[in-house]
Structure 1
Amino acid sequence: MSFYPLPYLERKAVFMGSSESLEGCEKVIIGIPMDLTTSFRPGTRLAPFRIREVSEGIEEYSIYQDKSLEDIKFYDAGDIIIPYGNVEESLRRIEEVTGELLKKGKKVFALGGEHLVSLPLIKAYKKFYPDLVVIQFDAHADLRSSYLGESLSHATVMRRVVEIIGTGNLYQLGIRSGTREEMEYATLNTNLYLNQLSSVVAEVKKSVGRRKVYITLDIDVLDPAFAPGTGTPEAGGFSSRELLEVLLELKDLDIAGFDLVEISPPYEQNDNTSLLGAKILREVLLAY
């Protein structure tokens, strides 16, 4: 079914503390249960539902910020209905829903899904914010020109993003995997911080300045010890504590939108990664 007042939306589970109505809420959660181009271990389509389910297992109050979800108004609008097997139509729907929310003056917090879902989200944002910059947290560069013969893929998503937002407007943090061609492309077109996270936050903030920022967070930026539930785990990553600290350090930037992608519930035990996803979402809702 389509969930009023937006197209292509249905509610199956709700993040803790959500308001009952979209009206009066600046911040809006949307789920994007899509993993159509996942090339190793599928399952990210299950993440939006599971993150919402396990959110009841954490507190609404954040000890890091001395704030609670009870102190803010946000709305969980549900999941975008994905026509499985049709990548182009799925991306079109994501962009349309995001655009409608932006027209209403909302700030989108999206739960993927594979990383390709970030492309239509950022396309919609770029139309509203011409000076948009993107900060990417990720283990993988995702800068391939094509992957398995496809230009639209979780492995090409940030290459497509650069083509939209322009050279020099993508900041890539935590990257520790990529091809030689990707590294050469990044040298010319992005701000690449190989295997660096907290140590470069001050530099990134100074460079970004007061421009509008979109943050895309691939959970595999973390070491698999902290986030085993992901489709393409990459050893040698960062801790969940360090990531949470960095996300809060960025809160004084002009952050316009956020997505969390690549959590894959089938590959975790005890919901550890989904619980972490719920905690991340709580913190960014309160901070951004």
Structure 2
Amino acid sequence: MKFNPRTFDPNGPGIPGQLFGLPFTPQTAELIIVPIPWEVTVSYHTGTAQGPQAILDASSQLDVLVKDIPNAWQLGISLLPIPEGIRTESDRVRHLAEQHLRRLERGGEPEGVDPLLPRINEACESLNIYVKATVLRYLKEGKMVGLLGGDHSTPLGFIRALADHYPHFGILQIDAHADLRKAYEGFTYSHASIMYNAMKLTSVSRLVQVGIRDLCNEELQMIRRPKSRIVTFFDEDLKAQRYRGTTWDAQCEAIIRELPEHVYISFDIDGLDPKLCPHTGTPVAGGLEFQEAVYLVQRLVRSGRKIIGFDLNEVSPGKDDDWDANVGARLLYQLCNWTAVSRGRLQLRN
């Protein structure tokens, strides 16, 4: 189907089936969203593999005006077709992962011994290879790229692609969890190990974590080890400072100060207050308000730093409403447009 941006009315209803109802295809868009409906290693609730479709469905009722970015919709954003093959493979491998987890719960084979693990880890590595190849294709075409999961294991291939593209960059991780466990539950590419795996890449010069409020001693030791490249802004510390009068603006400045010029944003939706994402896989009390998260991204861009890519993960739609997807769609739109501002593809209002 062909769409004509010249005849598109941003004040009218969006185009059904199009991300944010916008009239763009992967060929005509400047920013590509790669959907990855994958949730093999989730350790609590499932449902995140449905996130891309749910966000697509909810996005059509979003108003495309961004107050500080004139004609933001004209950027051109397009979601690649949601790959049903990945969703089918996720379901198949998730079945194996559930067998493995049941064995662990029964006190069976210790982690790393279960013969199912090599098959699971191999499937996850195949996904990483697919994601890296897809991202590199669009980066080479000069497109901006974002990834829409799925669980939080999904962007590792993206980060690997950026490591091939940039000599040095930082990661801004907004999350309830540190995700620094080594092969959690035996899964090399666990959603709880994404940042452990990312930090193996020497191109990642800094990991700045915001909103962390659920972690284990192994992760704390990794954060605190000498010459660590990790700076963590724990949720309880941010809240305590706020109670004593520190503003969120000042805290954002401190967070951004730790980041280099080029920044990748990894946004786990559970970094928000769970009232905004009640069906996410592993909700944790506390977290950021929606506008606090958006303000942090805005301040990052206004500081002159460039967003070289981003992911949004762990959006899990509820059975009876689309609240999680509604919030996720709005957050995704903000990430898209402020990424474009940081790259000079959109201009701020004077």
Same-fold call, TM cutoff 0.5: yes
The correspondence for 2:165, drawn from 114, 118, 128, is 128
Q: Does 1:113 align with 2:150?
A: yes
Structure 2 counterpart of 1:125, one-letter code: L
Bigger mean CA offset, 187-196 vs 169-178? 187-196
Whole-Å separation in 2 of the counterparts to 1:222 and 1:94: 26
Name 2:132's counterpart in structure 1: 95
For 1:105 and 1:22, locate their aligned partners in 2 and report how far apart those are by CA, in whole Å.
Answer: 12
Aligned residue in 1 for 2:313: 261
- Normalized per residue, the structure richer in strand is 1
Q: Write the mapping of 1:59-208 to structure 2, written as runs, cut at 5 A.
A: 59-63=63-67, 65-80=68-83, 81-82=85-86, 83-84=89-90, 85=93, 86-165=123-202, 169-188=206-225, 189=228, 190-195=230-235, 196=238, 198=248, 199-208=250-259
Change (3 A) 1:256 1:160: same
Q: Are 2:318 and 2:324, in contact at CA under 8 Å, matched by a contact in 1?
A: no
The 3 A distance-change label for structure 1 pair 118 and 167 is closer
Shift of 1:168: 5.1
1:135/1:191 Cα in 2 relative to 1: closer, same or farther (>3 Å)?
same
Residues 17 and 69 in structure 1, CA contact (< 8 A), matched pair in contact too: no
Determine if the alignment matches structure 1 residue 48 to structure 2 residue 52.
Answer: yes
Which stretch of the first structure deviates more once superposed, 22-31 or 95-104?
22-31
Match of 2:275 among 225, 229, 239: 225
Query: Of Structure 1 and Structure 2, which has the larger fraction of its residues in helix?
Result: 2
TM (norm. structure 2) is 0.73
Q: Distance in 2 between matches of 1:166 and 1:178?
A: 25
Secondary structure at the counterpart of residue 184 of structure 2? coil
CA distances 1:26-77 after superposition (whole Å, capped 9, x unpaired): 21111110001111111101010110111112201123x2434433222222
Which residue is 1:21 aligned to? 25
Give the structure 1 partner of residue 41 of structure 2: 37
1:285 and 1:235 map into 2 onto residues whose CA distance is 27
Q: Distance in 1 between matches of 2:131 and 2:59?
A: 24
CA contact (8 A) 2:20 2:64 kept: yes
Provide the residue aligned with 1:246 in structure 2.
Answer: 296
Q: Distance in 2 between matches of 1:254 and 1:20?
A: 24
Residue in 1 aligned with 2:62? 58
Report SS of the residue matched to 1:181: helix
Q: Secondary structure at the match of 2:145?
A: strand
Q: RMSD of the TM alignment (CA)?
A: 2.0
Structure-2 separation of matches of 1:37 and 1:166: 26
- C-alpha deviation, 1:152, in angstroms: 1.2
Identity among equivalent positions (%) equals 29
State the partner residue of 2:324: 273
CA contact (8 A) 1:18 1:76 kept: no
Alignment partner of 2:199: what SS? helix
Q: What's the offset of the Cα at 1:249?
A: 1.7
What is the CA-CA distance between 1:24 and the residue it aligns to? 4.5
TM-score, normalisation: structure 1: 0.88
